[in-house]
Amino acid sequence: MAHNISYDRPREKLQHKGVSALSDSELLQLIIGSGNGTAGVAWIARETLKQLKKYGYMVTFDHLVSVKGLGPARASLIIAAIELVNRYPAARRATRVENRTDARLLVKALGTSTQYQLIYLTLDGGMRLIAQRTVFLHDDTAHIRVQRVILANAVSDQAAGIYIAMGHHDHSLEPSSFELRLMRDIYSLSSVLLLRIHGCVLVNSSHEYPLLKESW
């Protein structure tokens, strides 16, 4: 008998896509484990994350036990996990892309480019940059080929999100049929691949035009 597995749940998502695909809140849900009669696990994780964002590595046991539903045992687990991270720091810190400003800085070369091109960023669940790639576009470029390249790399990167920008210094901000078809197909397949589209913009030397509502 076939069973449908939901990869939306943090544990299954980790097993299917790897730990980097999980958001900060989902990682906390795994540590917390489950909710209780006071609150659900997703709510507890969100409230705990607020404390972590406020205090960072300086967060204390008392800060965490103030979260409704967390309790001393789970607060201790989180404090212990943070201490382990401090004792074994990562060899390198990846670039974080947390908003449109961060993303625009990485694709600003489009505004001075003389050739029509597409730049796309793959991001992990912590909004860290995995890779930045460029596809050079021509009048006869098939949108299906570009779509396959972008999505294949997103899958191989085990990305949780993607950001796309297209254009050159004199690019029209009126979307072409190629650009509309490309984004329509990528957007429709993104839910199947559990891939979040953070944004897609057309860019020239002085302006930009969003093809999709941005999601950060």
Closest CA to 47 of 65, 21, 20: 65
Task: Report pLDDT digits (tens) over 50-99.
Answer: 998 888 777 889 999 999 999 899 999 999 988 887 776 655 567 888 88
Strand order in the sheet with 208-210: 129-136, 117-123, 161-167, 196-203, 208-210
Task: Find the Cα–Cα–Cα–Cα dihedral 38, 76, 18, 101, rounded to 10°.
Answer: 80
Domains, the chain, ordered by start: 10-87 (1.10.150), 100-210 (3.40.140.10)
What integer is the mean pLDDT of 143-160?
91
Task: Report pLDDT digits (tens) over 165-177.
Answer: 999 999 999 999 9
Distance CA 68, CA 56 (A): 19
Residue 75: its pLDDT value, please?
A: 92
Q: What angle separates helix 143-156 from helix 177-190, to the nearest 10 degrees? A: 30
Report the percentage of the chain scoring pLDDT > 90. 44
* For residue 116, pLDDT beyond 90: yes
Distance CA 78, CA 204 (A): 46
Residue 2: its pLDDT value, please?
A: 43
